[in-house]
Amino acid sequence: NALKAYENQDYPFEELVDKVNINRDMSRNPVFDTMFVLQNMQQEEKGIQGLQLIPYVGKHKISKFDLTLIGIEEEGHVSCMIEYATALYKEETIKRMSEHFMQLIDAIINDSQVKLSSLEIITPQEKAQILDVFNKTAIEYSSEKTIHQLFEEQVQRTPNQVAVVFENQQLTYQELNERANQLARTLRSEGVRSEQLVAIMAERSLEMIIGILGVLKAGGAYVPIDPEYPEERIQYMLKDSKAQLLLLQQHLQDHIPFEGKLVNLNDEASYHKDGSNLKSIVASNQLAYVIYTSGTTGKPKGVMVEHHGLCNLKSVMYDTLQMNEQDKVVQFASLSFDASIWEIFTSLFFGATLYIPSKSVILDYHLFNHFMNENKITTATLPPAYATYLEPTQIPFLRKLITAGSSSSIQLVNKWRGHVMYVNAYGPTEDSICSTVWTSRDKLSGNNSIPIGRPIHNHQVYIMDKTGQLLPIGVAGELCIAGLGVARGYLNRPDLTKEKFVENPFVSGEKMYKTGDLARWLTDGSIEYLGRIDHQVKIRGNRIEIGEVETALLEIESIQEVIVIAREDKDGLKQLCAYYVGDDSLTVGKLRNELSKKLPNYIIPSYFVKLTQMPLTPNGKVDRKALPKLGENVQTETEYEAPRTAAEVQLVEIWKEVLGLEQIGIKENFFDIGGHSLKVLQLIRKVSQSIGVNLPYRVVFDTPTIETMAQQIMTSQLGMEKNTDFLKLNDEGDINVFCFPSTISGLGMEYFEMAKRLENQCILYAYDFIEYHSNYTDMINEYVESIISIQKQGPYVFLGYSAGGNLAFEIAKVMEKSGLEISDIIMLDTSLMNPEMQRLREKLLERDIDNNENISEWFKQVKDIPSVKNKSYCYEEYMKQLDNNGIVKSNIHNLVVKGLDKSNWLNATMKNYIEYEGFGNHNEMLNRKFIDANVGIIKLVLNEIIERNVEMNLV
C-alpha cells in the first residue's frame, strides 16, 4: 500500500531504472511519462519597506514530462496548473482535461463517500453536446414498409431497366420481380410464414438474388450459407436455425445432407406460374434475415435483423451516395456477409444495375479491373486492403468507392479522393450493416487516421467506460449503438443477447448494442475507431472470435496448449498467428486440414508456431509479449532447400517481402507459411513489378511453391493470350531488341539471364514459338503484328539463338516487303537452312551429336514439361520444312562456335554479314560458364547499332 511505499521514498531513481533494465530513450522519461507535483511549502512573507512583492510564475518552453499536473497549496486553497508537451497535446485538449478534473473534484466535494466507479468525468455541457448535437440524427423514413415493398415500388418506376447481370445473363426489374414472386408463391405453398427461417446456399448467380427476394416476399427470413464452408459448420447453421427449407442450385443438391425440403433454384418446377406481387404478411419490425458470425464458444452465432433496419438505410444510401438509375454497382461481398445486402439494395432500391462478378474475377485484380471497365461500374464497396491493389486511373468509370470492414488509411484516401467520392463506413452485423459514415467531403482531423464518421440517420452512438458512464470528447471507450438498425439479438442465445443488447440508458424503452469496439469522439462530432477491447479481432474485414479458433485447435489430438493472437505484418495487415505446444507429428498441413473441417478459410490462422512451452509471466499467465513475432520460428512442413535458378532467386526475395519471413525454401507451400487471398494480390503485384509477368490468381493456387511457380514463369505461360506470346524481360535501354527462341524450349524466357546483363543498354522483348496456327504464313504475320504493336516504326533489331536466327530472318523478309526497315539481325550460331543443310541436320540429329548434356540449367528444368515438349516438337516440325531462301536488307551478325559452316549467310543479305568467335559449343552459349562472354560480344554489336542510330538521329 501507499504507506509501505514511503519506506522506499529515498530510493535513487536512476538506480531503479538500472535495476529494471529499461531501454533508455533520450527523448522520453523512463518508467513514467506523467507527473503530479504538490507544492505545499510555507511561504514566508518577506517585504522591503516601501515595496510590494508579487509572486511571478515563470513560463517554461520545455516540458520535462508528457504531462505534469502541479498543485500549489496556499492560504486554505489549492491552485493547479498543467504543463504539457505541445507535440502531444493540443491546447483545447488540455482545457477539456482541466474541466474534467474540476468535474471530478466538484463531485467528490459534494459527496466524499461516492464510489469512484460512479463518478462522471464528462461535464454537463459536453454531455449535452454529445446527446443533443452529435446524435441529432432523427429523420422521417418508410417506417411501415418492408424491404421487398421498397423493391416493388422501384419496379413500378423502372420496370424495363436492367436490374441484375451475371456473365451473359440478365434480368430487368420486371423480370426479376416476377421471378421472385413465382418463387415466393412456391415457398408459401411449402408453408413459409412470417419470420420462418429459410436457408439459401447459392454461388454467385442470378438465382442468388432471386432466392433472397423470394424468401422476403414469402414472408420468411433468409439464412445465407456459403457452400464453401466446412460441412460441420453448414450442418450446425442448418440445425441451429431450424430451417425446414433449403434453397440451392442444382449442382449443390448433393453437397450436404439435409433432412428438410430442398428447393432447386435452377428447376422451373420451383417457380409458380403466377408472377404478380403477393400480399405482404410481415411488418417492418419482423425478421428479414439471420447472418451467422464468429462465436466465442467455437460455434457461430446467428444475428437476427429486422426489416426496418435496412429500410432506414435507404435514405442513408441516397443522401450519402446520391444513387440513381444510371449507376452500375458491383456485387463484391460473399452472400454470407451482410455487406452483400448493402450492395444488392444500394442498387435495387434506386433502379441501378447490379453486376455480379464470378469468384475467379474477384480473386484476380487484373480480371477485376477488366470487369469494372467492361461494365462501366460506377459504385463499389470494397475492403480497404483490396482497394489498395486497384489503381484509380485504371478504372475511370468508378465514381463512388465505399470501404468497410476494417480501418482505412490516409494513404488510401489520398490515392482515391481525387478520382471518386470516397466513403469510409462502419457498422457491425448487429446494427443492420451500417452505423456511421465518413465521406471525402468531410475534413480530416489531422491525426493521421481516417474517422469512421458520424452516426447515420436515426442512429445514436455513445462512447462509454466499463461502468456504463458516458465518456467525453477525446477519451477512448467502448462504442455502443442505439437506434433503428439495432438487431433483435442472437438466435437461440438469450444469455449472450442479454449481455450485448442492453437497455439504452439515455432513451427509455430502446435497446443499445455494446460493440466491443474501442473508439473516441473527435471535436467535430466524428468518431475515430481504435480497435477492439475484447478477444474479438477483424481480419481482412471479417469479425473473428479468437476463442472459436482456440477451441477448434484444442479439439485436435496432440495439442496441449494454444494461444491465438492477431499480429500486424510489415504492411499493417492483421494476421492470425497460432502458437501451440504439441507433438512433433503435427504439421501445418495436418493442422490446416483439421481446422478446415470446422472453420471457414478466413478464420484459419495464417501462421503456426510450435513451441516447447508457453512463455509465462511471474504470476503464471502466458506472456503474450514474449511470443515470437511474425517471421520467427514459423512452422513449415518441408526441409529448407535453397533456390537454384535466377527465377527461383527472384521469387524467394519476392515471397520473403510479401510474407515477412526471413528464410523460405523453394518447396514450401505459399498458403502454409502465411499466404492468403490478400497476400496473393500482393504477390501478383510484386511479380509484375519485378519480373514483368502478369501472374493469374489461379496460378498461385496451381503452383504454390517457388519451384513450381518458377517453372511456370519460365515457360512463359503466365498472363499471355495467344496473340501476345512475348515477355518484356527488362525495363531500361536505348533500343528495343526482339528475340526469338531456340528449338530446345521454344520459349522466349531463355533470354532472361541475357536481359539482366543488357539492362540499360536495350529492352529485350522475348517471343515464344507460336505453335497453334494451321499454316506458317499466319504464324509469321502474327509475329509481325505484335512487333509493330510494340514499335510502330523501324529500324528494328532482331536476335535469335540457333533456330531463333532462322525465324528472325523469315520475319525480317515479310516486314521488309511491307516497307519496314530491319537494320540488324544478331544470331547465336545459326546455320542458314536449305535442302542441303536439312539433310546434314537430320544426320546430326540421328547421330545424337546435338545432345543436351551441356545446355543451361534453365533448359534442363523446362525441357520435360509437357507444354514445352509440345512447343519444341512443333518448332522442330517448322524447321524441317524451312528453306531460308531470299535476301534481306539487314546487317547479319553471327556469333559462331565450332561446328557447321555458317558462311552461306553472306549471300542472304544485301548489306554486311559479320562473324564473331563465340564461346562454348552450340549448346553451351547461354549457360553460366559462357553467357557473360557471349553477351559481351552482343554488347559490342549493340553499341555499334546505337552509335549508328545516334548519327542518324534515331535515338
Listed range (278-292, 531-545, 710-724, 876-890) with the worst mean pLDDT: 710-724
The rounded distance, in Å, linking the Cα atoms of 770 and 373 is: 30
Coil, helix or strand at residue 4: helix
Band of pLDDT at residue 716, cut at 50, 70 and 90: low
Output phi, psi for 567, to 5 deg. -115, 145
Residue 733 near residue 762 (C-beta atoms within 8 A):
yes
Band of pLDDT at residue 526, cut at 50, 70 and 90: very high
The rounded distance, in Å, linking the Cα atoms of 194 and 241 is: 15
Within 13 Å and on the Cβ side, how many CA atoms surround 416? 31
For residue 851, pLDDT over 70 is answered with no
For 415-476, strand residue ranges (E) read 421-426, 436-439, 454-455, 459-464
Mean pLDDT of 147-165: 98
**What sign has the CA pseudo-torsion 494, 498, 502, 508?**
positive
SS3 assignment for 712-766: HHHCCCCCCCCCCCEEECCCCCCEEEEEECCCCCCCHHHHHHHHHHCCCCEEEEE
Band of pLDDT at residue 924, cut at 50, 70 and 90: confident
For residue 306, pLDDT over 60 is answered with yes
For residue 719, pLDDT over 50 is answered with no
For residue 181, pLDDT over 90 is answered with yes
Could you write out the DSSP letters of every residue in 106-128? HHHHH-TT--GGG---S-HHHHH
Q: Which domains does the chain have, with CATH numbers?
A: 11-42+58-89 (no CATH), 147-439 (3.40.50.12780), 457-536 (2.30.38.10), 554-626 (3.30.300.30), 646-713 (1.10.1200.10), 726-951 (3.40.50.1820)
Please give the mean pLDDT across all residues of the chain: 86
What is the reported pLDDT for 856? 55
What is the reported pLDDT for 722? 36
Identity at 449, one-letter amino acid code: S
Q: pTM value?
A: 0.65
What is the reported pLDDT for 852? 55
Residue, of 835 and 545, whose pLDDT is higher: 835
Listed range (25-39, 63-77, 155-169) with the worst mean pLDDT: 25-39
Residue, of 791 and 406, whose pLDDT is higher: 791
Band of pLDDT at residue 546, cut at 50, 70 and 90: confident
Band of pLDDT at residue 853, cut at 50, 70 and 90: low
What is the reported pLDDT for 717? 43
For residue 408, pLDDT over 50 is answered with yes
Band of pLDDT at residue 572, cut at 50, 70 and 90: low
Residue, of 581 and 630, whose pLDDT is higher: 581
Residue 811 near residue 825 (C-beta atoms within 8 A):
no
309 CB-contact burial (10 Å; exposed 0-12 / middle 13-18 / buried 19+)? buried
Alpha helices in 795-863 (DSSP H): 803-817, 835-846, 857-862
What is the reported pLDDT for 636? 54
Coil, helix or strand at residue 280: coil
Angle 10-16-18 from CA coordinates, rounded to 5°: 145
Band of pLDDT at residue 703, cut at 50, 70 and 90: confident
What is the reported pLDDT for 718? 40
For residue 165, pLDDT over 80 is answered with yes
The 10s digit of each residue's pLDDT in 353-395 is 999 999 888 888 888 999 999 999 999 999 887 888 899 999 9
Band of pLDDT at residue 822, cut at 50, 70 and 90: very high
Output phi, psi for 605, to 5 deg. -55, 150
925-933, long-range: CB within 8 Å, 24+ apart, which pairs? Answer: 925/801, 925/828, 925/829, 925/895, 925/897, 926/750, 926/753, 926/754, 926/801, 926/828, 926/856, 926/858, 926/859, 927/854, 927/855, 927/856, 927/857, 928/856, 928/857, 931/753, 931/754, 931/757, 931/856, 932/757
What are the cell numbers at 385?
A: 486492403
Residue 301 near residue 349 (C-beta atoms within 8 A):
no
Mean pLDDT of 73-98: 85
Listed range (288-302, 639-653, 661-675, 826-840) with the worst mean pLDDT: 639-653
Residue 305 near residue 146 (C-beta atoms within 8 A):
no
Closest CA to 221 of 242, 248, 249, 252: 242
Band of pLDDT at residue 721, cut at 50, 70 and 90: very low
For 657-723, strand residue ranges (E) read none
392 CB-contact burial (10 Å; exposed 0-12 / middle 13-18 / buried 19+)? middle
What is the reported pLDDT for 617? 57
> Which residues, in sequence order, are bridge partners of residue 514?
480
For residue 525, pLDDT over 90 is answered with yes
Band of pLDDT at residue 176, cut at 50, 70 and 90: very high
**What sign has the CA pseudo-torsion 298, 299, 304, 305?**
positive
**What sign has the CA pseudo-torsion 609, 612, 618, 619?**
positive
The rounded distance, in Å, linking the Cα atoms of 92 and 99 is: 11
For residue 169, pLDDT over 50 is answered with yes
What is the reported pLDDT for 367? 87
Mean pLDDT of 809-815: 96
Listed range (299-313, 587-601, 836-850) with the worst mean pLDDT: 836-850
| Number of residues in the chain | 955
Residue 387 near residue 398 (C-beta atoms within 8 A):
no
Most confident of 42-56, 76-90, 717-731: 76-90
Listed range (264-273, 539-548, 729-738) with the worst mean pLDDT: 539-548
Angle 270-275-281 from CA coordinates, rounded to 5°: 90
Residue 180 near residue 163 (C-beta atoms within 8 A):
no
